[in-house]
Structure formats: C-alpha cells, structure tokens
Chain A
Amino acid sequence: METKIRRKKKASVEEALCVACGCCRKVCPKQAIEIWKGVTARICAEKCIGCGKCVKECPASVISLQEVQP
C-alpha cells in the first residue's frame, strides 16, 4: 500500500478557452459540472471528488486538477 499522503484535488476549468461542448459533463460521475449559459463549463467544488475523468475527456484539454487546502 502506498503510504504517501494524498492531497485533495479538484478539477478546474480554464474558462476563457472552454468551448462549452459538454463532454466533461457527460463523464462526471458526480454531476459536478454544469455548462453555464452555453458559454463555459463550471465545476461545483463541493461535488467534485477529483477523479480526473473530465480532464481526460475534455477535447480542448482545458481542465486540470488543482491541489486544494484540506
């Protein structure tokens, strides 16, 4: 087993480059993503568990996992 302490991570969208295609929303297991007014994806930090599925899916690669303070 890994003994490293795992930091908590959350997904974050670079909104200026998001194309609002909604691919990320489709794969999110926690329904943490909404496409705000067809302009950009927004992630609800409370719901996000940092699984990274949306990061892999995003065709524009504008989502990244960011460490957050626990």
Chain B
Amino acid sequence: MKKHWYDYLWILSLAYLILGFFNILFAWLGLLCFFIPLIISIGWGTKGYCNRYCGRGQLFALLGGRLGLSRKKDIPNWMKSRWFRYGFLIFFFIMFFQMLWSTYLVFAGAKDLRQVVTLLWTFRLPWNWAYHGTLFHPGVAQFAFGFYSVMLTSTVLGLITMVLFKPRSWCVYCPMGTMTQLICRAKAK
C-alpha cells in the first residue's frame, strides 16, 4: 500500500516524548493533539484524526505490530463497553481540570512550581533537569509539567494494553477517540 506523508507522524509523537525529557516547555505542543482532533470532528464530523493523522496510534501499531511487542489477544469485553469508555473519559476530564487548577494556583502565586511529572496520577517523578528558565512565568512551566504528565501517563497505559492485547488497544478507550466519536455521533443524527 502506498505510504503518505501522514503515515510518518509517529516520529513526531516519539520526538514529543523525548523533547519533554530535555525541556518540559515542549509539552505545550501536546495541545495540538488535543485541538486538531476536536477541530476535525466538529468541523467535518469525521474521526479523520484517528483514521489518518494520529501519531500515537501509529506508534502503537508499529511497536505492537511490526516489532511484535504485543500478544495480539482480544481486549476484555468490559474494556470496550460504553460504561468503561465513557467512565474513563470523565475520569480523564476530572484529572485534566485538576491539572488546570494547579496551574491556575501557580499563576495566582498561591502555590510554588512543582517540578515533577506525575505518572498514572499517583507516582511523582522528579523532572527538574527539564526546566531551565525564568523566561516565562512559573505557571507556564506548571502547565507543561501537568500536560506532560497526562501524555506520559496515557502512553504508559497504552503501552501496557498494547502488550497485553492488540497493538492499538489504547484506541478503544482513548479519551480523545471517545470524545471525537461522541461529537461525530451527535453530528450524524
């Protein structure tokens, strides 16, 4: 099958994770994989982002498919149920707003910047080597740390389900995928 330029966007996804390791401010770029899918689904009523452009999905397909890092077993039924998918979306939103709230607190000066990346909403990893500057307000960096935590957490979850089930199992419960499908569903009526 013919390869298109957008079949290589997994390189960007990988680069994103690596860059955030060296300079946390790159985490802001992650907003792109938040807004582009939403714009496509609201504007065109398709899941074009998932179907074509999502580098994260491609990365899992590559690692789990081509490199064989996946058992290729069926995902359990409860994980593809709407209960779980919508529940996970809501949980993700709550955590996201909590992250925005702590960013706000730093902007307001009520809290100090915490140079940690929180993995799986629990484990705090020190990440101070990735923050160098005073060029921006600490709140800008706080958001970056928070957003990178979200991205890293979802990557780790995706990798775990990739190994256990099929390469792109993450796409079954990915909050962006669920959200864009909901928007499309509403528009298709």
Contact = CB atoms under 8 A, between A and B. Distances in A.
Contact of A59 (B1, B46, B168): B168
A52 interface: no
A29 B1 CA distance: 8
A25 B171 CA distance: 14
Contacts, number: 79
Given A38-B181, A56-B72, A57-B166, A19 B46 contact: no
Interface string A36-47: 111100000000
B187 interface: yes
B15 interface: no
Contacts of A37: 45-46, 184, 187-188
B166 A17 contact: no
B152 interface: no
Contacts of B52: 22
A39 B184 CA distance: 6
A17 B80 contact: yes
A29 B118 CA distance: 42
Contact of A38 (B41, B169, B171): B41
Nearest to B58: A26
A61 B188 CA distance: 24
Given A20-B47, A20-B181, A21-B57, A59 B72 contact: no
Interface residues of B, number: 33
Contact of A21 (B45, B46, B74, B177): B177
Given A19-B178, A23-B61, A38 B74 contact: no
B51 interface: yes
Interface of A: 17, 19-23, 25-26, 29, 35-39, 56-62
Given A39-B181, A39-B184, 20 more contacts: A19-B171, A19-B181, A20-B181, A20-B184, A21-B50, A21-B51, A23-B61, A29-B1, A35-B51, A36-B188, A37-B184, A38-B41, A38-B184, A39-B185, A59-B165, A59-B169, A59-B171, A60-B80, A61-B74, A62-B80
13 contacts: A19-B177, A21-B57, A22-B52, A23-B168, A23-B171, A36-B188, A37-B45, A38-B180, A38-B188, A56-B72, A57-B166, A60-B75, A61-B166
Interface of B: 1, 41, 45-48, 50-52, 57, 61, 72, 74-75, 80, 85, 165-172, 177-178, 180-181, 183-185, 187-188
